[in-house]
Amino acid sequence: MRLSREKIPGIVVAGLRGGSGKTIISLGITAAWKSLGIRVSAFKKGPDYIDAGWLSRAAGCPCYNLDTFLCLPEVVQDSYLTHSQASDIALVEGNRGLYDGIDLEGSTSTSELAKLLKLPVLLVLDCTKSTRTMAALLMGCIQFDPDVNICGVVLNRVAGKRHEGKVRASIERFCNIPIFGSIPKLSVEDFPERHMGLVTSEEHSFSETAIEAAMTVARDNIDLDGLYRAVTSKAVLSIDKKPPSSDTFVPGIIASDLSGSGISVSGSEILKPVDDDPLTIGVIRDSAFQFYYPDNLDALKNLGAKIIFISPLEEDRIPAVHAIYMGGGFPETHAPQLAKNQAFRDALKRLSRNGLPIYAECGGLIFLGQSIQLSGIEYPMSGILPICFGLSRKPQGHGYTSVEVVHDNPFYKKGEVLKGHEFRYSKILTIDYQDHEMAFRMERGKGILEKKDGFFKDNTFGTYTHIHALGSASWAPALVNKARNYQSSLRSDS
């Protein structure tokens, strides 16, 4: 049995490599279309949080990640279909080069995602110090996989009209591919780089100005009307796919959207509330902690949790919650403020010792630790886990991860294999742990140390591995169940 379902027209913006300029062009096109009254759904290929955050601002709605390493292909398809339904067009920003992936087959590449979703590709060509060679590179991309529909190109970092003319003439003669725009060399001042390319939109004090600048670049240099017509007039408005197996649990997908597909959305294993007392999960979110997949928050909401946001930068107390989810970010850039807020740090430690479920990833893991040392100064953190962190100039863990759950712990069953990713500059200076307190053995990736990750005490769990709720189906039910149990224990004590 195969399902065919109408889908919204869309386009994948790809480059020949990372750093080719596709993010600014994706932002510009998205914001420009939105300014014209076109409803745009934005997506980011891969596990990136920062580009997704900028695209969310440009589109005016959440940007969802599409990742065929973290999630099953049919789940990626459903995510695209679900989150683009209210739009006129979708834009998917690729990552790395068009055909780059983790294996020789390119199974996790932007090109494979484009084929999976039956979307055309707009290829961004960085023309720096090149003319005729750009036609050769484009021809190679076209012929490398004829099933990839490269519908047009945008020339980027063009040195002037003479340079542009030579590149255009070469592409028109040898490739017969439409050129939808030509963008001159730009200053990077509006988009300073840090870690994964761009700083977060939350950290950039001129984020709206930056998006406005990207929109102006797109308006002045790209044929937006022609590109929109090209995408919508030839769109493939269906995706043929094999339905997921009946035991696939996808907590972040809307139940009504999957009726008849065989997917369990609620699952009998989820504990139900015994009364109308709302189950509340606190999400630590501010400029220090902002790395959250929208799907992860959706998954918790779809399982009945009320989400409230808490800031250790702005608040000195923790409101009544039944669990805390603390994502990644850049706590090192806010270490003095976090250290100064002793009332919040003490409250978090006290709640942890009293059994409050806490799940923390990467930057959140740092905040669970004893301290972080920066430039010879030691800043105290919450002191829940006996780890002292430092910071390196080079990444200490970078890329996809695969972990096996090897020890009993509050959130995962032994034997589970989870896929995720890690990206960190922090390093372990000192740590005091017993082997059974590390839930994960890293099959791929670095982890906390010695291929171990998932450090836990009581109901507090810290890991360098970021997971995606649609790919790690047990995560959201486990956190909700732990929160429900904690809620019940509070009732029993009252």
The DSSP string of 316-355 is SS--S-SEEEE-EE-GGGGHHHHHH-HHHHHHHHHHHHTT
Q: Which candidate, 31, 328, 313, 16, places its Cα nearest to that of 190?
A: 31
Pull the structure tokens for residue 90: 């979708």
pTM beyond 0.85, yes or no: yes
**What pLDDT is attached to residue 455?**
98
**What pLDDT is attached to residue 222?**
97
- Superfamily in which the 3-240 domain is placed by CATH: P-loop containing nucleotide triphosphate hydrolases (3.40.50.300)
Residue 484 pairs with which residues in a beta bridge? Answer: none
Every domain of the chain with CATH number 3.40.50.880 lies at 277-493
Q: Which candidate, 358, 359, 366, 360, places its Cα nearest to that of 427?
A: 366
User: Which one is catalytic: 61, 71, 362, 388?
Assistant: 362
The vertex-144 CA angle with 74 and 29, nearest 5°, equals 65
**3-state secondary structure (DSSP) of residue 463:** strand
Residue 179 pairs with which residues in a beta bridge? Answer: 153
C-beta of residue 252 within 8 angstroms of C-beta of residue 296: yes
Around Cβ 72, how many Cβ atoms within 10 Å? 16
CA–CA distances in Å: residue 181 to residues 86, 139, 159, 219, 433: 28, 18, 14, 10, 56
Every domain of the chain with CATH number 3.40.50.300 lies at 3-240
**What pLDDT is attached to residue 234?**
81
Please, which residues have CB within 8 angstroms of residue 297's CB and are 6 or more apart in sequence? 283, 307
Q: Which residues of 179-205 are buried (b: 16+ CB within 10 A; e: fewer)?
A: bbbbbbebeeebbeeeebebbbbbbbe
277-493 in CATH: which number? 3.40.50.880
How far is 69 from 67, CA to CA, in rounded Å?
A: 6
Please, which residues have CB within 8 angstroms of residue 488's CB and are 6 or more apart in sequence? 274
Active site residue 362: yes
How far is 304 from 290, CA to CA, in rounded Å?
A: 22
Q: How many residues does the chain have?
A: 494
Please, which residues have CB within 8 angstroms of residue 5's CB and are 6 or more apart in sequence? 81, 238, 239
Q: What is the pLDDT along the chain (494 residues), one digit of tens a residue?
A: 334 457 899 999 999 999 899 999 999 999 999 999 999 999 999 999 999 999 999 999 999 999 999 999 999 999 999 999 999 999 999 999 999 999 999 999 999 999 999 999 999 999 999 999 999 999 999 999 999 999 999 999 999 999 999 999 999 999 999 999 999 988 665 454 433 344 555 555 567 888 898 999 999 999 999 999 999 998 777 776 655 544 444 544 443 333 333 333 333 344 555 456 799 999 999 999 999 999 999 999 999 999 999 999 999 999 999 999 999 999 999 999 999 999 999 999 999 999 999 999 999 999 999 999 999 999 999 999 999 999 999 999 999 999 999 999 999 999 999 999 999 999 999 999 999 999 999 999 999 999 999 999 999 999 999 999 999 999 999 999 999 999 999 888 76
CA–CA distances in Å: residue 363 to residues 275, 288, 311, 369, 438: 35, 8, 14, 10, 18
**What pLDDT is attached to residue 243?**
56
**What pLDDT is attached to residue 189?**
57
How far is 14 from 26, CA to CA, in rounded Å?
A: 9
The vertex-266 CA angle with 261 and 271, nearest 5°, equals 160
**What pLDDT is attached to residue 261?**
32
